[in-house]
Structure 1
Amino acid sequence: MSKLIAALPMYDWPEVRGEIDAQWAQLRDAFRRRGIDAPERMARSNRDLPPVSGGIQDGAGKLIAPDPATLPPDEFDFHQLWLSPALLFGQTCWGPMELGLARHVQVVAQPSYDAFEGGQGELYSSALVMPADGGTSVGSPEDGKAVIPLDLIRGKRFIFNNPDSMSGLLGLTRDLEAIGESLGVFASCGESGGHRSSIVAIAEGRADIAAIDCQSWALAQRFEPAARRVKVVGWTTRRKGLPFISARATSADVVASMREAIAELGLDGSVAKQLFVERVG
């Protein structure tokens, strides 16, 4: 049994578990053909993370995360996953990467978002969604520049998924700053815990606007009934999408072999239309 772990948690909605499992099976088998000891199944909870006696330390011996064995076993702490020295293959967001995670991991590849409105190659954007009022949704601009309807969003209740999310908070914050505004344009800002929860909050009248990354928005249109009660009023600037990562301790040879395997799989044949890569490295 492999001592390494893998996970693709960012778009692992219950309705697409089979698709995500199929994605991993393709990657796992391609990795194994190159001699990589890839795990049979992905981690989906803290109990799937290997224990680290004394907690996880960085290269200088500084404690950066507790022992996964001490965490609630049925929950799934993504930061704990990303910092695990046993992480062979996972996916994160550039928000946490910019806030310090990049020191502890290696980027293996970038996914393609070509299959989703608001995506182009390795770039993605977020749909700005508000309650539907009978009007039509705004399409993603071809040039990938931000479309921020200040007249619609001023004085509204903004809800975001997580404070370190590029798609849900940081990207929109930067787009507002680029036009001389700030989060102060909103009457309030609140945290929902996830893009899907943000959509539900708007549909139920508990919030007025959220930024939902384009792949999550596509999933919501497939599976979340509340998505029918909101509409797209704008888009954030296209930015680099969610990178595939490995632990800093993963050897250069293994990382190179994973990149070769991903490139070999190509853009065609992705079960969920997102996994395989526009650019590696």
Structure 2
Amino acid sequence: MYDWPELRPATDRFWSALRDALRAEGMAAPERLERDRDAMAVWTDPTLVLAQCCGLPFVRALSGRVELLGAPDYRLPGCPPGFYRSAVVVRRDDLRETLDAFRGSRLAFNERGSQSGYAAMLHHVAPLARERRFFSRAVETGSHAASAELVAADGADIAALDMVSWRFIERYREAAGRLRVLLLTDPTPGLPFISALGADVPAMRRAIAAAVVALDAASRRDLGLTGFRPFDPGHYDLIRDRAAAAERLVAV
């Protein structure tokens, strides 16, 4: 889910470590990553070895259809191991200091199936909504980077960006210099690793943890990867419940 062009060499090295660790546990694993298929088709493939998905499609479409393994830990501020949150960003020259001050503003979000870019924002504006409205306009951009670019260019006023993606935007995108963080959203379990139904979950979890340790330090640093946290499906009920509660109060 964080396979940015600038990070692909590090991602490929991580896959090599994962592949070797899976094989050491007696499981078949392909030589290389597959990058060219539709995400939902990959996630629901009965031959899936390993993939990462977003928590919102997991609770809405995948729970019970795949094996949940856990989430990588990126050691994000204010988050327990394996959890993540979003940075709500606005233009640096926008002087408004509270979320409520952005009532009637223009929202940029990556996609409606995103916990970090869509549901996390709804969770925070829902208590402030009036007659189920808060924003005057919402633009679906297709990616966190595109949302950041749109806000920086004054095509929108505010966006919630997965904090791991925000780190990469700060590192690789010039638009970050024109943005500031207004607030951080409430933490939720991070983007889960999943496998096909029937996979050997304990062995998969051992392999992922071993791969993180085996990965070279430079690649771990590039990816921001510090560990792995096993999770069960019940951990993600938090995402389902928050999204359902927010959608009863606000529409985007």
Place the TM-score, normalised by the shorter chain, in its bin: 0.7 to 0.9
**CA RMSD in angstroms, aligned pairs only:** 2.3
Corresponding residue of 1:87: 48
Query: How many residues are aligned here?
Result: 226
Contact 2:89-2:158 within 8 A present in 1 as well? yes
The 1:226–1:237 alpha-carbon spacing in structure 2 relative to 1, beyond 3 Å, is same
Change (3 A) 1:88 1:150: same
How many percent identity over aligned positions? 35
Q: Which amino acid aligns with 2:114?
A: S
Residue 279 of structure 1: how far off its partner (Å) = 3.2
TM-score by length of 2: 0.82
Q: Summarize the alignment of residues 203-214 of structure 1 with structure 2, pairs less than 5 Å apart.
A: 203-214=152-163
Pick one of 97, 102, 106 that aligns with 2:67: 106
Aligned to 2:100: 150
2: CA distance, partners of 1:222 / 1:180: 33
Q: Deviations over 1:2-35 (max 9, x none)?
A: xxxxxxxx10000010111111111111111111
Q: Separation in 2 of the partners of 1:28 and 1:118?
A: 32
Structure 1 residue 130 corresponds to structure 2 residue 121: no
| Shift, 1:275, TM fit | 6.5
In structure 1, the partner of 2:137 is: 188
Paired with 2:226 and 2:111, the residues of 1 have a C-alpha distance of 23
User: Contact between 1:117 and 1:214, CA under 8 Å: does it hold in 2?
Assistant: no
CA deviations 1:31-68 (Å, max 9, x no partner) are 1111111111001102xxxxxxxxxxxxxxxxxxxxxx
2:201 corresponds to 1:255: yes
- Mapped partners of 1:44, 1:277: distance in 2: 22
**Distance in 2 (alpha carbons) for counterparts of 1:264 and 1:274:** 13
**Do the aligned partners of residues 119 and 14 (structure 1) sit closer, same or farther apart at CA in structure 2, a change above 3 Å counting?**
farther
Q: How far apart, CA to CA, are the structure 2 residues paired with 1:207 and 1:230?
A: 12
Higher helix share: 2
Q: Which has the higher contact order (CA 8 A, sep 6+)?
A: 2
Q: Structure 2 unaligned runs (5+)?
A: 233-252
Paired residue type of 1:276: G
SS in 2 for 1:99: helix
* Contact 1:267–1:278 (8 Å) recurs in 2: no
Secondary structure of the residue aligned to 1:274 is coil
- Residue 186 of structure 1: how far off its partner (Å): 1.0
Does residue 24 of structure 1 match 2:23?
Answer: no
> Are the equivalent residues in 2 in contact too, given 1:128–1:234 (CA < 8 A)?
yes
